[in-house]
Structure 1
Amino acid sequence: MNDSSAGGSRASIWLINIVLLLICIMWLIPSLGLFISSFRIREDIQTTGWWTVLPHREYETVSVIEELPRDFDNDIAFTIPALGDTEALFDEWRAGVETPDGLRARWIGNKRIGRLEVQKKVWTVNWDFTIDNYRQVLAGKDFVYTRADGTEVTIPGDNFVGAFLNSIAVAVPSTIIPILIAAFAAYGFAWMQFPGRRLMFIMVIALLVVPLQIALVPILRDYTRLDLNGTFLGIWLAHTGFGLPMATYLLFNYIGTLPRETLESAFIDGASHFTIFQRLILPLSVPALASFAIFQFLWV
């Protein structure tokens, strides 16, 4: 029984390792191909696979035959005088015909103005690498490449760095501002006594059920009136307004559960509300602040 169970355990381990190895290979090969292709010239990416950077056998033209028969029937096999008795249909010549000496003859072009290339299979690698792809994406460099028909195409750069900096300029303030305001509001609702506290908190909770689409039209009208359309300030204010109710509610639930004795001890020592908020509430609320910061950043 022990030997059979040990054998079954070893077989399970081998099976698990093999499956994990296959999964790793399935993920690694495409990732490696993408990484290598990012350094290849655009023409090479469109015409050959990324694995051509590895040593491989490939046909290379060794000679070109210009004098070819032109008056032949496409449905009847014919020979090329320069190649001896090798006979094939026109479509076969265009696809490539193996010659007795191990070469390949391939008809390039159409029937009237085509040429015949004699090709030999040789070992080769394609190490023509470039960083122009990264310059185009990261720095906005215009990219010029030549198509198969000889025409040049200019592709404007994407300037991903600029887009990334714009995203940071929008996301970071739109995350920090509502969290700071909500933290002050949550502390006030949880530990301060003032007239209308319950009513104001109910109003904040009620804003959670207001669809964002209802507020968009009034906000856009106000932005147009205040000339805030297309500005960072307008985006920050919009995300702050939409994120405040949820942030205030979540932080209120957390700050309200902090030990009352800690705050009362601070009051006895003469600490003000701002000092308590700065020295006690914020350090103790870091988990809640970090959790909401993650969600707010993703929402933005």
Structure 2
Amino acid sequence: MTAHADHAGAVRRGPVGRLADAVGGGLAQAVMLLIGLFWLVPTLGLLVVSLRDESVNAAEGWWTVFTKPAQLTIDSYSSLLATGFTASFWNTVLITVPTTVLVIGIAAMAAYAFAWMTFPGRDVLFLVVVALMIVPVQIALIPIAALYGQLGVFGSISGVVLFHIAFGLPFAIFLLRNFFAGIPASLLEAARMDGSSEWRIFATIVFPLAKPAIASLGIFQFLWVWNDLLIALVFADTDSQPMTKALQSEMRQFGTNVDIIAPGAFLSLLVPLALFFAFQRYFVQGMMAGSVK
């Protein structure tokens, strides 16, 4: 045995190992920080464009604001609010929040049943849920539009919410069921031996342990519904239209109406960004769940 191996109790690392250590340290962090800054450049550009007059945006690039800060103004946001954009913002909230909450609640209960309860046809029903994940949204638009017309909910916020719930549940159930199945069975059996009901086990043990997965699902579901345009175009009318449809209508009518589109797009970006940064810790935990045993 060599002296350095006896003294350190470890094998000396070669050049490749030392390079891996360097990359895994400060160098990697610097590279990731640089990538993050480049990733934020379009967002910064959108903010600057939304804070400048349309004539200035047409004449100069947004980066000139660093030498001419007097160009910044909030007139574009005042014009945006005058178009009734506020109503579209609240419509988006009224569509997205109930959809996300209901999808999480219904999917969590169904996932627990598929993971830990025994009932006839359980496996067949779960295969049906998995199969529904591959059904394209487009093939359901016309049949559901006809159904909504008969029920009298076409063009309403409730109709949009119901559609998003129906197509959000299969993936949500699949995701949470796989996470619930990873919970130690001994933990649930001990609770049953203590006399706990299935509902109590779900509410006090399984649901709290699933916070990372639920937070990840909530972020995904919220972003899908918040940024949706297709369903809004089909099922929402003028009174129930979300921000995406309102911005699309501005583009269709005015083409280059940047003083309305830019601030509207930036405002629609703020809420998802705030949500992600508020729950990013749970989001990372949810993405890593199950990757390490």
- Taking structure 1 as the reference length, the TM-score comes to 0.53
SS of residue matched to 2:183? coil
Distance 1:47 1:265, change over 3 A: closer
The CA deviation at 1:247 is 1.0
In structure 1, the residue matched to 2:97 is 172
Picking from 211, 227, 234, the partner of 2:159 is 234
- Deviation per CA, 1:51-70: give whole Å up to 9, x if none: 69979xxxxxxxxxxxxxxx
- CA shift, 1:260, in A, is 0.7
| Residues 47 and 287 of structure 1: CA distance in aligned 2, closer, same or farther (over 3 Å) | closer
Matched, 1:218 2:143: yes
Instruction: Specify which of 192, 199, 202 is matched with residue 267 of structure 1.
Output: 192
CA distance in 1: counterparts of 2:65 and 2:158, whole angstroms: 51
- Using the aligned pairs only, state the percent identity: 42
1:258 Cα deviation (Å)?
0.3
Partner of 1:136: 79
**Amino acid across the alignment from 1:132:** D
Ranked by relative contact order (alpha carbons within 8 Å, sequence separation 6 or more), the top structure is 2
Equivalent residue for 2:131? 206
Per the alignment, residue 182 of structure 1 pairs with: 107
1:298 correspondence with 2:223? yes
Distance 2:210 2:61 in 1: 53
TM-score computed with the length of structure 2 as normaliser: 0.55
Q: Which runs of 5+ in 1 are unaligned?
A: 1-16, 56-125, 141-156
Deviation, structure 1 residue 298: 2.2
Change over 3 Å in CA distance of 1:134–1:255 after alignment to 2: same
Q: Distance in 2 between matches of 1:191 and 1:223?
A: 36
| 1:88-143 deviation line (CA, Å, top 9, x unaligned) | xxxxxxxxxxxxxxxxxxxxxxxxxxxxxxxxxxxxxx969864332112x21xxx
CA displacement at 1:201 relative to structure 2 = 1.6
Equivalent position to 2:208, from 269, 276, 283: 283
Query: Which AA in structure 1 matches 2:216?
Result: S
Q: Is the Cα contact below 8 Å between 1:53 and 1:127 reproduced in 2? A: no
Larger relative helix fraction: 2
The number of residue pairs the alignment matches comes to 190
How far apart are 1:292 and its partner, in Å?
A: 1.6
Q: Which runs of 5+ in 2 are unaligned?
A: 1-29, 226-293
Q: How does 1:1-300 map to 2 (within 5 A)?
A: 35=48, 131-137=74-80, 139-140=81-82, 157=83, 159-300=84-225
Alpha-carbon offset, residue 188 of structure 1: 0.6
